[in-house]
Chains A and B, each alone.
Chain A
């Protein structure tokens, strides 16, 4: 596929630990296959300890022991040249970092140095990858800031002088100044207020459209996915359980977990009772056998306890890992409204 910018095949990445005689293996990413195409925002939705953070560590080529890649390939294709970051050397990865592959992180303070002006952070991150003369570099930076409706004055500020929303916008500017083909956004708006969140999301969408980059957007917040992403993968306990164009996820999801997530979203103007899901996400150290969702699934059958459902391709670029994806779900089963207190 010429259009793919990222191809992940059969990726297994585990935490393997041995401490005080206790051996532990946490299967944070277990058999993930997916592609990200050029010029799209690919969303990854998952709860805490679903393995989504570990997955983007692999994508960002930031793997440190005890986290290891056990199997599989993670291939980026920049300027037609493939690079497998799961097996590439540190120097090869350093060459693509920031110029082709950059990140927007949750806490802007982890990127911006608190004791230096924003200007020097731009210089540290972008000057070398951009490979421009000093004057041309600052011209390019200011032009980029202008495109993002940011005043050039922010360069002279210290991070603490900026508001949280402004800091996050500066980090987005920093991540996109080299016009990278691929951007990883890890919960970029989680800590922000609603109004600021909307502005920052709109900004990410605008800059993605302007640059034609691909973005992998990770957040647990389904309403963010609904408004920003083009395609969406739902991750549960280290596996992708469903992947489809975002619109399909919100209108015609097939996996019971996805259907529950969508059905339980509160909306202004909608007064119908919303379901809640019992149980808890499984531990990745001891995941249940078979389908990992079966202990909480309202329509699980015997087969779900024994066999692992594969992520099957369906029409319309829709993939689902569920034996009962075609069953018509009775509304009261998925809308498992709680009984009143006894």
Chain B
């Protein structure tokens, strides 16, 4: 495993850039555990200070040190994105592989529900949940709700791959080697869909983080939890750009763009490495 990592760093420039970008953001968010300030407290320092040696990222109009504030914001946002991605991957893999491999009646039922979830408009539903749950809507609940909506497209994609795999000779061979459907799905077919799982996980994180930012900026989440979205909400609320506190908006946006770019590069380069067929093809085997 370590040698794979070392080879990727050495021979794949996309991977190296991705590791650096994501590494910087993750390290940054981990600093929150060493934070000297409470992220929910306000007016703990002088407001509206530009970036300087004392306040690296400046301070905002609510008297918070943006550097420490954003470490919490990124920790929460990354954790949120990861939770949604993992949960929705579990659902889409299960649904996609089962529908594709078992086919028939199971397939029709699962795809019926799949299509319903595709058709439901997610944004109004999320706002509805906000009004119902109000301050009970913490990050975990929001992640759960979004995971329930983030799987259907990818489940269809996985199903189409599984449909193809079902008719391959090795699947029939596995059946006659006495393997159960569950084993065939998880041991024979799952490796084939892993590249899809990785690249869709990436797209899913971008989708869920983006949606969280949108909701938060509009004020439809718990605005007391620091996230990238709520940071922008408060900046907007205090008309940061108008009053010249540009760093309050520019810095989080730059950091979130770095996050997306890094995750994207990682997904692309790892994708190629995970799939031994493309690797073998390149080796001419």
Q: Inside 8 A of A24's CB, which chain B residues have their CB? A: 283-284
Q: Is B7 engaged at the interface, CB distance under 8 Å to the other chain? A: yes
Q: Cβ of B284 and Cβ of A21 under 8 Å apart? A: no
Identify whether the interface residues of A are mostly helix, strand, loop, or mixed: strand
Q: Cβ of B7 and Cβ of A20 under 8 Å apart? A: yes
Q: Cβ of B10 and Cβ of A19 under 8 Å apart? A: no
Q: Is B282 engaged at the interface, CB distance under 8 Å to the other chain? A: yes
Identify whether the interface residues of B are mostly helix, strand, loop, or mixed: helix
Residues of B in contact (CB 8 Å), total: 8
Q: Is B176 engaged at the interface, CB distance under 8 Å to the other chain? A: no
Q: Inside 8 A of A26's CB, which chain B residues have their CB? A: 284
In this complex, the member of A19, A24, A66 whose beta carbon has the largest number of chain B beta carbons within 10 angstroms is A19
Q: Cβ of A20 and Cβ of B11 under 8 Å apart? A: yes
Please give me the residue from chain A that is nearest to B281 by CB atom.
Answer: A19
In this complex, the member of A19, A20, A26 whose beta carbon has the largest number of chain B beta carbons within 10 angstroms is A20
CA distance A20 to B282 in the complex (A): 10
Query: Considering the complex, which residues of chain B in the window 258-285 have a beta carbon less than 8 Å from any beta carbon of chain A?
Result: 279, 282-284
Q: Is A17 engaged at the interface, CB distance under 8 Å to the other chain? A: yes
Among the listed A15, A17, A21, which residue makes an inter-chain contact with B10, where contact means beta carbons less than 8 Å apart? A21
Q: Cβ of A17 and Cβ of B7 under 8 Å apart? A: no
Q: Inside 8 A of B7's CB, which chain A residues have their CB? A: 20-21
Q: Inside 8 A of A1's CB, which chain B residues have their CB? A: none
Q: Is A331 engaged at the interface, CB distance under 8 Å to the other chain? A: no
CA distance A24 to B285 in the complex (A): 10
A280 to chain B, nearest CB (A): 15
Query: Considering the complex, which residues of chain A in the window 7-51 have a beta carbon less than 8 Å from any beta carbon of chain B?
Result: 15, 17, 19-22, 24, 26
Q: Cβ of B11 and Cβ of A17 under 8 Å apart? A: no
A43 to chain B, nearest CB (A): 26
CA distance A24 to B284 in the complex (A): 9
Q: Inside 8 A of A19's CB, which chain B residues have their CB? A: 11, 279, 282-283
Mask of B178-189 contacts with A, CB within 8 angstroms, 1/0: 000000000000
CA distance A26 to B279 in the complex (A): 16
Q: Inside 8 A of A21's CB, which chain B residues have their CB? A: 7, 10-11
Among the listed B8, B11, B279, B284, which residue makes an inter-chain contact with A15, where contact means beta carbons less than 8 Å apart? B284
Q: Inside 8 A of B8's CB, which chain A residues have their CB? A: 20
Q: Cβ of B10 and Cβ of A22 under 8 Å apart? A: no
A104 to chain B, nearest CB (A): 26
Q: Inside 8 A of A15's CB, which chain B residues have their CB? A: 284
Query: Considering the complex, which residues of chain A in the window 69-128 have a beta carbon less than 8 Å from any beta carbon of chain B?
Result: none
Mask of B4-35 contacts with A, CB within 8 angstroms, 1/0: 00011011000000000000000000000000
Q: Inside 8 A of B283's CB, which chain A residues have their CB? A: 17, 19, 22, 24
- 16 A-B residue pairs with Cβ-Cβ distance under 8 Å, sorted by A, are A15-B284, A17-B283, A19-B11, A19-B282, A19-B283, A20-B7, A20-B8, A20-B11, A20-B279, A21-B7, A21-B10, A21-B11, A22-B283, A24-B283, A24-B284, A66-B284
Q: Which 4 A-B pairs have the closest CB atoms?
A: A19-B282, A20-B7, A15-B284, A20-B11
Question: Measuring CB to CB, which residues of chain A are less than 8 angstroms from any residue of chain B?
Answer: 15, 17, 19-22, 24, 26, 66
Question: Measuring CB to CB, which residues of chain B are less than 8 angstroms from any residue of chain A?
Answer: 7-8, 10-11, 279, 282-284
Q: A15-B284, A20-B7, A24-B284 are in contact. List 4 more A-B contacts (CB 8 A).
A: A17-B283, A19-B282, A19-B283, A21-B10
